[in-house]
Each structure stands twice: as structure tokens, then as C-alpha cells.
Amino acid sequence: MAKRPFKFRLLELCTDEEPHWNNDLVNQVAKEYGAENNKFMKETLNFDLIELAAFGFLQDIEQKVDDEGVWLKGALLHKYVITDYGKARAQDACLGPDIGLKKKREAGEI
């Protein structure tokens, strides 16, 4: 299947409604697009997350200092979770109606 734009994919990864650390999301997408060793590309992807949070798609729920240097030693790591607005926009904008419904499915609503 053809790859979709970075932000679509980042959003898609968040539609499991679980919280994710920014470095995990960035590394996952960078790997899928063949850019695991491309620091510049990873910065770009991280900036996409910041933008998605600024637009209210994701919520920055927790921060910790990157002591181990998994992203950038001494900098902050952010944990994001998708918002209701993000889910609504993701459904009508880029990912179709059947995403982000894990919790509903588990609750037996669908």
C-alpha cells in the first residue's frame, strides 16, 4: 500500500487511544519511511507532533527529562494521547470511519 503523509501516519499510530512517548512515535514512523538513521528527518517528525498538539489533535499529558539520551540527552520527552477532536478530525480527514474505536470495541458498543 502506498505510504501516506507523515502526519497521517503519526495520527494513525495514536488512534489506539493509548499514550505514546514522542521518541517512540518518531522512531516508529522514521523506520517505516526508511529514515531510521536520519536525524534531520526525525527532528521534522518531532515537529509534526508539536504541530498536531498545537492544533489540539494530541494532548501532551506527561513530560520527563531524557536522562538516558533516548532522544536528546537533557531535553524533555513528551507523552501524547489523542483527543476527541483529534479522533473526530482523523476520522473525517484522513483515516476513515473505523479508526480510534478500540475502546468502544472493547466495551462491546460495536
Partner 1 sequence: MVDTEQMRIKEHENRIRSGYMWALFCAVLWGLWYIPGTVVWTIEPFTGMLEEVSGMISGDGPLVIVAALVTAFNALTVIIALMVWNGTLLRLPELGRTLREFKPCSKWFLIGSVCGGPIAIFGSFMAMAFIGGAFAAVAGLLYPGVGSITANLWYGEKITKRAAVGILVIIAGGVTIFGGGLINDIQSAEGVAWLGYLGGAMAALGWGLEGAIAGVGLEVSESDTGLTARFVFELLLWWIIIIPALAIAGFPMYEYAIQVFQPIPLLVMVFAGITFGFCYVSWYKSFPLIGVGRGQGVANLYGLMSIIFLFLFLGSTPAWTVFVGGLLCIAGAFIMFTEESLEIETLRG
DSSP string covering 8-37, please? HHHHHHHTT---EEHHHHHHHHHHHTT-TT
- Does 31 contact partner 1 by CB under 8 A? no
- Does 102 contact partner 1 by CB under 8 A? no
When binding is defined by CB under 8 A, the residue of 32, 39, 54, 61 that contacts partner 1 is 54
When binding is defined by CB under 8 A, the residue of 3, 31, 73, 102 that contacts partner 1 is 3
When binding is defined by CB under 8 A, the residue of 55, 84, 103, 104 that contacts partner 1 is 55
First to last CA, the chain: 27
Nearest to 92 by CA among 3, 11, 10: 11
- Does 94 contact partner 1 by CB under 8 A? yes
Q: How far is the CB of 93 from partner 1 (least distance, A)?
A: 5
* Residue 50 near residue 63, CB atoms below 8 Å: no
Give the C-alpha separation, 24 to 7, whole Å: 15
Number of residues that bind partner 1 (CB under 8 A): 30
What residues line the site for partner 1 (CB under 8 A)? 2-8, 11, 38, 40-41, 44, 48, 50-57, 60, 63-65, 76, 85, 89, 93-94
